[in-house]
Homo-oligomer: A and B are copies of this chain.
């Protein structure tokens, strides 16, 4: 290993790292606040977290296969299917068989779905802006670059 430790060395304990230096804890705290900051607006729009994520993902990549949508929305397929049922009933999305593979289903945003996300987005953007307040362009760029490496290191899918 790079740092010269044998691969079976006991990992450091959480108390040695310190909770406040443990990146997964900090990321969970950050995402907890991010989610909390849009909860009221989501409730007004009748959205749950999976539904909000479906709207966000389709707003930039419309017509994804359900399997791809599950990865991007970080939602298990069974939960996603229930969310899509409800969203279709509410007129937010529509599902269509893939023209090249009739067993595969693609999901599209309706105009109502797009309009719903446009109501929500300014609230997400506001929190997003607050997250990086006082952090300059270079530091922010470096942070994003490392975050992408971390994601590549632990992702299971090639996207």
Contacts and interface: CB of A to CB of B under 8 A. Distances in A.
Contacts of A124: 14, 24
A125 B57 CA distance: 31
Interface in A105-159: 121-122, 124-135, 139-140, 142-144, 146-151, 153-156
A37 to B, nearest CB: 7
B154 A30 contact: yes
Contact of A23 (B2, B24, B59, B131): B131
Counted per complex, copies of this chain come to 2
25 contacts: A13-B121, A14-B56, A18-B60, A19-B57, A20-B148, A21-B144, A22-B128, A23-B131, A24-B124, A26-B150, A28-B31, A29-B74, A29-B155, A30-B150, A33-B155, A36-B156, A132-B153, A134-B149, A134-B153, A135-B146, A139-B142, A139-B146, A142-B143, A142-B146, A143-B143
Interface of A: 2, 11-15, 18-34, 36-37, 53, 56-57, 59-61, 72, 74, 121-122, 124-135, 139-140, 142-144, 146-151, 153-156
Given A2-B134, A23-B143, A30-B147, 11 more contacts: A18-B60, A19-B60, A20-B148, A21-B144, A24-B131, A26-B150, A28-B31, A33-B155, A34-B154, A135-B150, A143-B147
